[in-house]
């Protein structure tokens, strides 16, 4: 295998790796958006639960999970 062939293979490998990294980054962004959406939904559910319990005279449930970050 000539030096030119080795160089071409190396460049091809880098291009393929770059494509994979870009796809992973896009996937990561999409997953982060889903996580943030779910977090917002949980907050709304907790609020609705607390309001419902307050109206019915029930006690406030203990908080077990803290959101970090």
pLDDT for residue 7: 94
Is this model's pTM higher than 0.85 or not?
A: no
**Using CA atoms, how far apart are residues 11 and 69, in angstroms rounded to an integer?**
38
DSSP 8-state assignment for residue 45: H
> What tens-digit pLDDT sequence spans the chain (69 residues)?
799 999 999 999 999 999 999 999 999 999 999 999 999 999 999 999 999 999 988 666 666 666 665
Centre a 10 Å sphere on the Cβ of residue 5 and count the other Cβ atoms it contains: 9
Q: Give the 3-state secondary structure of residue 58.
A: coil
Give residue 13's pLDDT: 95
């Amino acid at each position: 295998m000539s030096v030119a062939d080795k160089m071409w293979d190396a460049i091809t490998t880098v291009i393929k790796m770059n494509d994979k990294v870009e796809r992973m980054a896009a996937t990561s962004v999409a997953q982060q958006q889903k996580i943030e959406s779910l977090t917002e939904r949980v907050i709304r559910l907790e609020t609705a639960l607390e309001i419902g319990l307050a109206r019915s005279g029930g006690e406030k449930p203990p908080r077990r999970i803290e959101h970090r970050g």
